[in-house]
A and B are shown apart, each in its own frame.
Chain A
Amino acid sequence: MVFPGAMAHHNSGPQMLTSNRLRSGDVLYRKGDGWVFTLAEGEVYADQAAADAALAAANSELVRNEFVAPYLFEVRERDGRIVPVKEREIIRAAGPTVHPHTGKQAGQHQTDKANA
């Protein structure tokens, strides 16, 4: 299955790996062999080999049915912080620009709701 975010086949430079939590839909970022909720906590892969290895590991874990749709995206360092190259990933990492009281920018996670 190809997800829209996975269409960027020609990534270059440092990358990160993202997916969505199956139960809640929460956006996740890869860190080590697990996942975290915020981009700032996620792992940056300096080269393509490391990025490919992370994606391959995530794909092999899809059978656990904990997350879906993993894909890599480009990031760069700006003012000492890691930020996505594309606007799409900046918004995904923060939340809708038109509702700043929602999403990760407001510290909200779907999983925080009861029975997540």
Chain B
Amino acid sequence: MLNPIPVQPNMYRYDEFDAKFVAERVEQFSGQVQRRLKGELTEDQFKPLRLMNGLYLQLHAYMLRIAVPYGTLSSKQVRKLAYIARTYDKNFGHFTTRTNMQFNWIRLVDVPDIQRHLAEVEMHCIQTSGNCVRNVTADQFAGATDEELEDPRPLSEIIRQWSSLHPEFVFLARKFKIAVGSCEKDRAALKWHDMAVQIVRNEQGRTGYLVMAGGGMGRTPYVAHVMKEFVEREDILAYLEAVLRVYNQDSRRDNIHKQRIKILINTIGVEEMRRRVDLEFQELKAMGTLQLPQAELDRIAAYFAPPKFETGLPDTIPEAGPDFANWVRTNVSRHKQPGYAIATITLKTPGQVPGDATSEQMDVIANLMDEFSVGEVRVTHEQNLTLPHVRKVDLPAIYARLKELDFAAPNAGLITDIIACPGLDYCDLANARSIPIAQKIAKKFENLDRQHQIGELKIKISGCINACGHHHAGHIGILGVDKKGVEFYQLLLGGSGAEDAAIGDIMGPGFTEHDIAEAVERVVNVYIAERQGTERFLDTYRRIGMEKFKAAAYETVAA
């Protein structure tokens, strides 16, 4: 009999300050809601306040976005999300590409109670909207993969604390998104963020940080520039503050489409941006008020200490049939500890809504977390979940339970593991639906042998130019557009959200809702016919370019 696994995850726990801060914010917003209902606040006055608390008015109802810092959730928190879905929503929630959770059917009058429930489990909705530093995201394999130089969560938590209601950065020109990675392999789409930090080691063997800035999607996509190759540990907050300060001071505020940091950097040039940031950085460094003491870094890092891994466990994955073997092939990754593995739960069984989970599914996942993964799960920007620390011997049992939940699709990284924003089914800004297109494509490629034959292929779908579905970064990207009230879909090829980040090339005119899945299939067929050796779709596209893909995609449409 193996030892039971502890259920208390090693993650950040609120101190007195955090708890008081969140509780006060809940009561403050509760008061604002009451004042709005009584008419003491107009909608114009209330809207920025509700947005600062994650509350949007969407196509059908209010939507509440809940922050999941660096994608990390405890089982207690997952159970609370299940409770909220069951009690205040329609029994399901949606994991987003920013690793947050959204509830789509929330009533304004219920929001204060929901936020009190969230505070009980150290969660909130602060900085999930508005022109501020948004929820920090990180590599979902943090603390588990042997690829990382060090765990990115302590720095992520420090950035969260530094940026939370930072008085200088509460009213930025636009939203500002930060991600943290820990190795050459980029699972957090670092280069697509306003600012990103990659943990690196310099020639002297010292660990520090590479800082990038100016990445972003939307109507003007850019891949981030390196701002500084190596920032010493103690200087990281001063350097990040310097970047934000230059952005805050110098960015435009007269045109909403030109107010992100990517526009500033690409207008003044990266060298000029570096110069301005360096001036600020030297000033901040001279003041010495933002140096990060090693003791504080150690204190935060202690929250994320590795769990007590068992030793002497068998380091092989048991055999449990061909379906299980297929799941292991794509959804199980190497762990740094012998006898352990990282398991990815794709919320993408063909036909499912990418990222959706019901209350019942969330409750069962919470149980799985407690039984098999030290009470912890990570939300990924690809709208999946990751169990970071599972014993290899437990993988068959985990798989069996996931199968009962219909969350055992063996497709992580394959063509049916599609990112899709909520699109016109929910979003007030969308021009076209994303989810039904994802469902159609996933069903079309449902055959697992075919998925494996195709190999790694990332499809990403957005319902409008705001690009919440990361279409610019898809190996195949799909952008929904509105033509006189009718949905059309543009194809983009060659994008990447990984370490080889690239902006996809627009193929041409859009396809109808009925034609788009077939057009994708014809594009994939060209890849199969043209690929050499072990080339991924992306490699083949980069080698042969758009022409053949375009000819095939429009072939049937033209006929």
Which A residues lie at the B interface, using CB under 8 A?
A: 1, 3-5, 20, 22-27, 62-65, 68-69, 85-88, 91-92, 95-99, 102-103, 108, 110, 113, 115-116
- Complex contact A26–B109 (CB within 8 A): no
Q: Write the nearest CB–CB distance from A33 to chain B, whole angstroms.
A: 19
Given A91-B59, A95-B60, A116-B109, A63 contacting B43 (CB threshold 8 A): no
Which B residues lie at the A interface, using CB under 8 A?
A: 36-39, 42-44, 47, 57, 59-62, 90, 92, 104-109, 353, 424-426, 428-433, 435-436, 439, 482, 485-487
- Complex contact A65–B37 (CB within 8 A): yes
- Complex contact B61–A69 (CB within 8 A): no
- Complex contact A25–B60 (CB within 8 A): yes
Q: Write the nearest CB–CB distance from A5 to chain B, whole angstroms.
A: 7
Supplied contacts A63-B39, A86-B482, A87-B424, 4 more A-B pairs, CB within 8 Å:
A22-B43, A24-B107, A25-B62, A65-B39
Which residues on the A side are within 8 Å of B482 (C-beta)?
86-88
CA of A113 to CA of B43, assembled, Å: 23
- Complex contact B486–A25 (CB within 8 A): no
**Chain A to chain B contacts (Cβ below 8 Å), 29 pairs:** A1-B43, A1-B44, A3-B428, A4-B429, A22-B108, A23-B37, A25-B57, A25-B60, A27-B59, A27-B61, A62-B42, A62-B43, A63-B39, A64-B39, A65-B37, A65-B39, A69-B43, A86-B485, A87-B433, A87-B487, A88-B424, A88-B431, A88-B482, A91-B59, A91-B433, A98-B353, A99-B92, A110-B107, A116-B109
> Is chain B's interface secondary structure helix, strand, loop, or mixed overall?
mixed
Which residues on the A side are within 8 Å of B109 (C-beta)?
23-24, 115-116
- Complex contact A103–B60 (CB within 8 A): yes
Q: Write the nearest CB–CB distance from B161 to chain A, whole angstroms.
A: 33
CA of A3 to CA of B107, assembled, Å: 19
- Complex contact B107–A20 (CB within 8 A): no
CA of A87 to CA of B482, assembled, Å: 9
The residue in chain B whose Cβ has the minimal distance to the Cβ of A109 is B61
Tell which of A63, A91, A95, A98 has the most Cβ of chain B within 10 Å.
Answer: A98
- Complex contact B37–A22 (CB within 8 A): yes
Contact of B107 among A23, A27, A69, A108 (CB under 8 A): A23
The residue in chain A whose Cβ has the minimal distance to the Cβ of B353 is A98
> Which 6 pairs from chain A and chain B are nearest by CB?
A86-B485, A25-B61, A96-B425, A25-B62, A65-B39, A24-B107
- Complex contact B107–A113 (CB within 8 A): yes
> Is chain A's interface secondary structure helix, strand, loop, or mixed overall?
loop
CA of A54 to CA of B4, assembled, Å: 66
The residue in chain A whose Cβ has the minimal distance to the Cβ of B63 is A25
- Complex contact A92–B59 (CB within 8 A): yes
- Complex contact A98–B439 (CB within 8 A): yes
Which residues on the A side are within 8 Å of B439 (C-beta)?
98
- Complex contact A26–B61 (CB within 8 A): yes
Which residues on the A side are within 8 Å of B353 (C-beta)?
98-99
Which residues on the A side are within 8 Å of B42 (C-beta)?
62
Which residues on the B side are within 8 Å of A69 (C-beta)?
43, 57
The residue in chain B whose Cβ has the minimal distance to the Cβ of A106 is B90
Which residues on the A side are within 8 Å of B43 (C-beta)?
1, 22, 62, 68-69
Q: Write the nearest CB–CB distance from B528 to chain A, whole angstroms.
A: 30
- Complex contact A23–B485 (CB within 8 A): no
- Complex contact B57–A96 (CB within 8 A): no
Q: Write the nearest CB–CB distance from A98 to chain B, whole angstroms.
A: 5
Which residues on the A side are within 8 Å of B435 (C-beta)?
96, 98
- Complex contact A97–B107 (CB within 8 A): no
Which residues on the B side are within 8 Å of A87 (C-beta)?
424, 432-433, 482, 485-487
The residue in chain A whose Cβ has the minimal distance to the Cβ of B106 is A25
Which residues on the A side are within 8 Å of B436 (C-beta)?
97-98
Q: Write the nearest CB–CB distance from A57 to chain B, whole angstroms.
A: 17
- Complex contact B428–A4 (CB within 8 A): yes
Tell which of B60, B104, B108, B428 has the most Cβ of chain A within 10 Å.
Answer: B60
Which residues on the B side are within 8 Å of A22 (C-beta)?
36-37, 43, 108
CA of A3 to CA of B42, assembled, Å: 15
CA of A93 to CA of B429, assembled, Å: 16
CA of A5 to CA of B485, assembled, Å: 12
- Complex contact B61–A110 (CB within 8 A): yes
The residue in chain B whose Cβ has the minimal distance to the Cβ of A68 is B43
CA of A64 to CA of B430, assembled, Å: 30
Q: Write the nearest CB–CB distance from A68 to chain B, whole angstroms.
A: 5
- Complex contact B425–A98 (CB within 8 A): yes
Which residues on the B side are within 8 Å of A24 (C-beta)?
61, 107-109
- Complex contact A20–B57 (CB within 8 A): yes
CA of A67 to CA of B199, assembled, Å: 49
- Complex contact A1–B47 (CB within 8 A): yes
Which residues on the B side are within 8 Å of A5 (C-beta)?
428
CA of A99 to CA of B559, assembled, Å: 35
CA of A111 to CA of B424, assembled, Å: 23
Contact of B425 among A27, A97, A108, A116 (CB under 8 A): A97
